[in-house]
Amino acid sequence: MNLHTHRAGVLDPTFGDNGIAPLTLPIGHRKFEPLSCYTEPDGSMVYYGHAAVAELPAEQTGFYFGRLTPDGTPTEAAPVHRVACPVSTSNYDFTVSRTAVNAGILGFSLPVHPVAKFARYRSYIGISRFAEDFTPLPEFGDNGIVIPLPIFNDSLRPAGSSTSPCVQSNTAQNRLADNIGLPRGAVIGKRIRVVFQSFLIDNENTEIIDTTTLLASFDSATGKPISDIGENHDAETVVLPERDGEALEPTGAHFYDNGSFVLLAVTSASTYLMRFHANGQLDDGFADGQPIKLPLGVLSYLAVSEKRLVVTIPASPLPLGGGTTVYAFDKDGTADREFNLGQPLTLADTDATTLTLYNAVIDEDERIILSGGRWSVDSGLSSECHVTRLLNNGTLDPEFADNGHFRGPEGYQYGEAVFVNDDGIRIVCSAPGFESIAKLTN
């Protein structure tokens, strides 16, 4: 009789090569820089990134979509098409997300527009929709792309006018982890709602001299702006409130089916968690009627389930000895007493290491999986990929890997993103020069 004992938190030998699959393109090369990705319910992964010029003929370099099958194989079934992004945007700021099962791909970018009279540019939202085979949807905007003009009249803005600081991460190690300030949006029925920052940029010294954070509404089929938000439900855009005298810089957002949304954002001083109504007005029924103020965490992360909101705030790698603080709230912003008796939980390792877990996801059993890096100093500052799973009550899961901690795979420096599916946990792992997917059993 054969006995099989399932272990959670070990590399799945049925995935890729003993649990690891390179995140690459099926076009005969390995050098690929992934910039944004997500998983489908069946465990397949859609990703977007840049194929390095040095690795390919000139006609094949550029930005691409790719797909991995649930077993980690770069699929040949859906041809990989070059992404048709606006010429005036930085393709490195393009993010992708799933609209719905078999409903294609939703992409956001931040095109820049020249400002009359001044040597300045204004960034604004750009939206793209693609079919499952990565081709642009022709009925959406201009062959799949919508680039509305900014609502600001910057031609009338005097030089040296108000400056709202833009918080820039100086601790992130990779674009997948350093997602601060990028647009957050979703398809909500017949609408696309997106939160984004608009920057006024001085072209001469590339200085950001003004920042505004907005919510915008668009028709999900055509991409046309829709006037259905704001206090009177008659506006296409809403300016979200400032905190600490600064525009909020989004680090996470979750949109509910009714259009309301939870936003995690930072200023140069603090992190804020807040909830908005579908029209973009602050929800005073959340928490105590005011946004929840937390310590500053430039790489703070938001994970949401039906029952709770989880915020992670990791320490900087230096000085050593730091950790990651996990906050749990119920859906209405009250401290979740089922998690660590309602208190924040700090995950740390030793005085000689720093645990920076800047990604999180909540599974169907309300367990929290976090990924990031474990930093130490040997011949220099270095890190190794680290994954932790907590039970619903905030204690380490003794059945996951080594008493709740998975370290590795060997040679990988940090876990840049984490996804959970019925068939396992997928970690985007970074090593010098390339990224891979590691699949763990759950």
pLDDT digits (tens, 9 = 90+) for 90-130: 554 567 777 655 578 888 888 877 876 667 888 889 898 98
pLDDT at residue 85, as a whole number: 47
Q: What is the pLDDT of residues 224-265, one digit of tens each?
A: 999 999 999 999 999 999 999 999 999 999 999 999 999 999
Q: List beta partners, residue 295.
A: 270
The mean of the pLDDT values for the chain is 84
Task: Return d(Cα 268, Cα 394) in angstroms, integer.
Answer: 29
pLDDT at residue 253, as a whole number: 95
Q: In this model, does residue 410 exceed pLDDT 90?
A: no
Beta strands per DSSP E along 240-291:
249-255, 261-266, 270-276
The residues near 156 (Cβ < 8 Å, ≥ 6 apart) are none
* Residue ranges covered by each domain of the chain: 8-31+309-442, 102-127+144-299
Candidate from 15-24, 221-230, 390-399 with smallest mean pLDDT: 15-24
Residue at token pair 């976090």: 370
Instruction: Kindly compute the dihedral angle of the four CA atoms of residues 238, 272, 168, 353, in this order, to the nearest 10 degrees.
Output: -160
Task: Supply the DSSP symbol for 432.
Answer: T
- Helix-, strand-, coil-residue percentages of the chain, each rounded to 5: 5, 45, 50
Residue at token pair 């370099």: 61
HSE value, Cβ hemisphere, 13 Å, CA-based, for 296: 13
- Read off φ and ψ for residue 53, nearest 5 degrees: -60, -40
- Average the pLDDT over 71-98 and give the result: 58
Q: Which residue, 142, 164, 161, is CA-closest to 153?
A: 161
CA distances for 109 relative to 116, 177, 184, 251, 408, angstroms: 22, 17, 10, 16, 33
- Average the pLDDT over 355-366 and give the result: 95
Percentage of residues in the chain with pLDDT exceeding 90?
54
HSE value, Cβ hemisphere, 13 Å, CA-based, for 245: 4
| Local confidence band at 61 (pLDDT 50, 70, 90 cut-offs) | low
Q: In this model, does residue 388 exceed pLDDT 90?
A: yes
More confident position, 168 or 32? 32
Question: Is residue 146 exposed (0-12), middle (13-18) or buried (19+ Cβ within 10 Å)?
Answer: buried
